[in-house]
Each structure stands twice: as structure tokens, then as C-alpha cells.
């Protein structure tokens, strides 16, 4: 994708524009609930050093953004904001919140009863013998799936039984497995989002969180096509951003684009 082929626009602050189902199970979701800023704001943040201000993005401005990205001038990418509403398994959320330079507010199962929605893998993966935290391959095993489902049912029944017997939600939630769905608001700027994407789109990232990173890139790309195009050139040259731009026009569902 060349810089000249990317549309230059300056969308205003706007409400919900899209929701994607990154895990494809009808439960997971990434929803862009608010966005402020555009590629023009990146340019104006950089050019304020010279007392300059623009209202339309030119090819010269696009080249400036590419220069900023290439040479790690990161502060101009921080004068904007994304807010996403995320619904994901607890184990994905705990990986996600290792990214500390962001804002989070999460549903509390002290305050409310858990909806008891669980992530069920479509296929199993083998432990990577070389990477202690990674997985490889994929295989199906109905016996293992039944064991997984039976265990979830046991946890569900025990959780509800404790609540029925008057046990506080803050204690009963200890029975909830890591595949239980949680929800949170995730707010970041473009610099922080780009760092998240760099790490979580990599081959070493767990498949599930990688799918969420793909969804966020899909939703963010129409608003910062030049900046994310420059990020792609530097950090993820094998990505096909045209596919993400196409996917951003879809209002439901999400296809894994990197595999």
C-alpha cells in the first residue's frame, strides 16, 4: 500500500461505528465506542514546533507521518484517543492488562452475578516444545471437548449453588474458570495502540489475543490510514492492510486475516 493510495480524511469525534466478533463464537466482541482524532492531528502535533497548522492532509504531510514513524518520534501519535468495549475470556484480559500505559474499567463479579458465558476452543493446540509459553498445530478431540464442557458445567453449578446458599459473590467467583467471559473499557492513544499491535500481532502471541488485535486494527485503520500504513511499513511489512480496510466495512463477524 503506497501512501498516495490511502484516503486522507479527518473524521470527527463519533459514536459507536462497528462491532466485531474476533473469536467467532457469538460471545466475543470488540466495539469501538469512541474515537477522537485523525492523521491530521498527528501532523499538527508535529508541526506545532514551527507554529504551523493544517486542515487538510497532503502527500507532504503523509511523508512527514512516515518520517515520524520511521525515526521513532512518537509524541505526535499521542494526541488522539480510542475507547473500545471488549468482551473476552479472562485469560485474554489478564494478558491484555499487562499493557499498563492505558485506561481500564472492568465489570466486577463482586457487584453483579457472572453471566456464566465461557470460551470453548474450536480446536486444541499442542504445547510448543521450544517455546514454553507458546502452542503449535491444531487438532480435534471430542473426548477432550466433553471433559472440558463437563468441567465447566461443574463449575457453573457449584457457583450458582454457593450463591443460592447465601455466599457472597466476591467469594463464589473464585470458582469461575479462566475461560469465563469478562467485559472492560480499554482507552488508549495511537502510540499505545501501535505498541499493542506490534506485540500482539506477532507469531509469538497467543492466537486468541492475536484475533483481538486484528479486530482493533480493523476498526482503527479507517481513522488513521496514513499513520497505521507507516506503522505497518516499519513493524509489520507482511500485513495486507487492504484486507483490513475491506473488513472494516463489515458490521458483524470477523475473519482471521493473518493465517
pLDDT in tens, 110-165: 999 999 999 999 999 999 998 888 899 999 999 999 999 999 999 999 999 999 99
The model carries a pTM of 0.87
Q: Confidence band (pLDDT; 50, 70, 90) for 196?
A: very high
Length of the chain: 259
Tell me if residue 200 is catalytic. yes
pLDDT digits (tens, 9 = 90+) for 42-56: 999 999 999 999 999
Question: In the prediction, which pLDDT does 130 show?
Answer: 86
CB 15 within 8 A of CB 5: no
The candidate with the shortest Cα–Cα distance to 75, out of 55, 96, 47, 112, is: 47
Given the residues 85, 169, 173, 200, the one annotated as active site: 200
What is the rounded CA–CA span in Å between residue 245 and residue 220?
A: 9
Amino acid at each position: 500500500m503506497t501512501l498516495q493510495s490511502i484516503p486522507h480524511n479527518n473524521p470527527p469525534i463519533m459514536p459507536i461505528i462497528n462491532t466485531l466478533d474476533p473469536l467467532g463464537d457469538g460471545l466475543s466482541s470488540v466495539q469501538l465506542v469512541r474515537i477522537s482524532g485523525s492523521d491530521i492531528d498527528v501532523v499538527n502535533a508535529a508541526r506545532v514546533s514551527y507554529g504551523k497548522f493544517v486542515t487538510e492532509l497532503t502527500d507532504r504531510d503523509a511523508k512527514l507521518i512516515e518520517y515520524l514513524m520511521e525515526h521513532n518520534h512518537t509524541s505526535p501519535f499521542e494526541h488522539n484517543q480510542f475507547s473500545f468495549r471488549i468482551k473476552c475470556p479472562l485469560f485474554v484480559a489478564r494478558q491484555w492488562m499487562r499493557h499498563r500505559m492505558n485506561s481500564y474499567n472492568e465489570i466486577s463479579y463482586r457487584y453483579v452475578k457472572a453471566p456464566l458465558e465461557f470460551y470453548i476452543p474450536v480446536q486444541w493446540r499442542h504445547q510448543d516444545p521450544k517455546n514454553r509459553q507458546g502452542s503449535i498445530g491444531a487438532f480435534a478431540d471430542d473426548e477432550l471437548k466433553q471433559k472440558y464442557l463437563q468441567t465447566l458445567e461443574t463449575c457453573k453449578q457449584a457457583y450458582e449453588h454457593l450463591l443460592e446458599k447465601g455466599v457472597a459473590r466476591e467469594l463464589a467467583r473464585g470458582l469461575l474458570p479462566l475461560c469465563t467471559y469478562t467485559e472492560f473499557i480499554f482507552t488508549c492513544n495511537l502510540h499505545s495502540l501501535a505498541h499493542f499491535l506490534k506485540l500482539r500481532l506477532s507469531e509469538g502471541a497467543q492466537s486468541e489475543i492475536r484475533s483481538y488485535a486484528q479486530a482493533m486494527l480493523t476498526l482503527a485503520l479507517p481513522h488513521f490510514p496514513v499513520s497505521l500504513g507507516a506503522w505497518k511499513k516499519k513493524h509489520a511489512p507482511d500485513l495486507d492492510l487492504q484486507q483490513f480496510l475491506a473488513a472494516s466495512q463489515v458490521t458483524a463477524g470477523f475473519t482471521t486475516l493473518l493465517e
